[in-house]
Amino acid sequence: MKPARPELDPLYRLWLHPSPGPLPGASPTQIAEAEMESAGRRATLHLDPSHTELGTDGFEIGPGDRVIATTEKGLLSGTYRWLQEEAPRIEVPRVALRMLQHWDDLDGFVERGYAGRSLFDWSTLPDHPDPRLWDYARACASVGINAICPTNVNAAAEVLRPAFLHKAAALADLLRPYGIRLFLTARFSAPMELDGLPTADPLDPEVRAWWTHKLAEIYRRIPDFGGLVVKANSEGQPGPQDYGRTHAEGANLLAEALAPHGGRVLWRAFVYSDQPSTDRAAQAYDEFAPLKDQFLPQVQIQVKYGPIDFQPREPYHPLFGTLAPSQAVMEFQITKEYLGFSSHLAFLASLWREVLAAPLDQGAVSGAVSGIVGVANLGDEPSWCGSLFDQANWFAFGRLSWDPELAPASIAEEWVRLTLGPDPNVAGKVTEMLLRSHEAVVNTMTPLGLAHLMGSGHHYGPAPWADDLPREDWNPTYFHRADREGIGFDRTATGSGQLLQYPPGWQARWSDPATIDLNYLLWFHHLGWDHQLTTGRTVWQELVHRYHWGCREVAAIREIWAGLEPFLPRAVHQPALEKLDIQMEESEWWRDACLAYFGSLCRRAWPEGYPQPKKSLAEYRAIRHEGIAGDPAR
Ligand code: GCV
């Protein structure tokens, strides 16, 4: 059920001034004027094509409240930024493609969504778009997002049916003045499913003709269509390998059909073999690196930030910096599938900056990363994101994809000021909460480089013991490899060898357990429980220490927020406090369940000064959950 008047909720406003409401048919300049009117402040707008240094999206904020850009789109971006921060400056985006991808099914279910149902109600399109879509567009535009894909990568072929494209065209018309281009997901078997072709083989002439006609049809309806997003031969989705063809042959089929229209194909590299024989973390690299010279220029390879799957912490994916001359796009997950859904506070700019560090080190984000996409955390709840603090992640995604060099602290400060106001009693404290939050969540769930300990399927809560899924590499036990003797996944040359996929400098950083950053220790190394660490503790003691440290951090963050009650409206403060209470409970559950389990394997003395788990391992193992939000097996 849609909330009747979501705009009346105090969280609806996001980081923005009051909305001017739907502006059907308005140009970007008219929208900029309406926004200033609504904010009660006015800059002068100058369209000046001679400022080529600003590109098409950039802008200058000049002295005397002048916004200068070469395009109307640039003027609108500049206006939003001027309304956020008036100081004179030039801003030009460092990354060309800054895209939100929604995992929304056509029936309104949001895969891994924790904020209600889809914002896109296709039954009302094309004639009666939900007024909320204009507020969605302005929020995206206000942080520099310039593309969206509203349909799930686990794609329905129906997305490409004429009746749906008619609806999609109406959405594209609505988004266009905000400088946002529409992409759609393509199911690789669509020619068979929609038009009864006997095959979807990318080298089959009839299949090629089908895609050529389909793209021509899309561009007739949506002249500035961005392109297609494809998940192929991954987790059961159809793809070119069904016909003995490569990912390059599959992607190029679509690239050729898109080329005459200037569109792109975002081809996902989230693949792992159906018959796992090698380390899962190695498989996407093994599959894609040998193909890097074979992709057409219209292909952008969309790679998750880490080699497994959006874990609370992962080392960066070794495909970044490897794929040239092909282009790589970095994929983030704004929705917190593995970081506590919308009930935990985890400010993700901290995580994203960590994984951007390698491409940044290599000197050129635009070389190693030609685009940044984020899996949206949005739904039809009045708060858009399920909680106040998750709004910060939508904001941070936009800001960081515009400028990947931005420091998490400056993004946090900006969001806090715009969302909660400049009150010095509040601003510094909430910024501090955000900046401490990611590390806290990592430590309450997967400290020391552990990964994928979550409950099977729905990914809610801890289940480090789970070992009964049909695929070995879906089980937590596959990832942590703990037994009586030790814990961790040996990915060094003497183990799976996945570490060798990284450039020598990174190999050197991570190959020695004595010098590796402990945050990646058990990701790359299998160590005995009694192995001594530089902290003075053994591996077992350090694990206990970090789980407890994480929970103490969550308690401290909650306390800071509780203390802000006198300074914030109750309707803003109270729901966030309730979420922090849930986080506190769930963090203790995570800590105690994981330590009960690992403790039962290692059977070492319980380190002094740390309380033991509140319940027995059997009790934790008996906990069952059903009907969890966002679970595709609903
Ligand atoms: C859209 C993870 C999620 C799936 C998701 C997949 C992907 O495995 O659990 O829900 O599917 O990633 O990124 O394709």
What is the per-residue pLDDT across 436-495, written as a single tens digit (0 to 9) for each? Answer: 999 999 999 999 999 999 999 999 999 999 999 888 888 999 999 999 999 999 999 999
Q: Is the CB of 331 under 6 A from ligand 1?
A: no
Determine which residue's CA is closest to atom 7 belonging to ligand 1. 270
Low-confidence ranges of the chain (pLDDT < 70): 1, 275-276, 362-368
Which tokens belong to 463? 């289940």
> Could you tell me where the beta strands, DSSP code E, fall in 231-316?
264-268, 299-304
Decide: pTM greater than 0.85. Answer: yes
Spacing, Cα 360 to ligand 1 middle (Å): 26
632 C-alpha to ligand 1 centroid (Å): 9
Cα torsion through 613, 618, 620, 626, rounded to 10: -170
Residue 424 Cα to ligand 1 midpoint, Å, equals 41
**Residue for token pair 């078997």:** 189
| pLDDT given at position 365 | 57
Could you tell me if the CB of 103 is within 6 A of ligand 1?
Answer: yes
Q: 384: which 2 tokens?
A: 């858009």
**Rounded Cα–Cα distance for residues 501 and 592 (Å):** 35
332 C-beta closer than 6 A to ligand 1: no
Atom of ligand 1 nearest to the CA of 154: 1
**105 in ligand 1 pocket by Cβ < 6 Å?**
no
Q: Where are the alpha helices (DSSP H) in 423-537?
A: 427-445, 476-480, 504-510, 521-524
Give me the pLDDT at residue 470, please.
85
Q: What separation in Å is there between the alpha carbon of 312 and the centre of ligand 1?
A: 15
Q: What is the pLDDT of residue 1?
A: 62
3-state secondary structure of 68: strand
Atom number, ligand 1, closest to the C-alpha of residue 331: 13
Which atom of ligand 1 is nearest the CA belonging to 375?
Answer: 13
Token digits of residue 593: 């369940």
Residue 3: its pLDDT value, please? 72
Whether residue 458 has its Cβ less than 6 Å from ligand 1: no
Bridge partners of 100, per DSSP, are 148, 374
Phi, psi of 88 (to 5 degrees): -60, 135
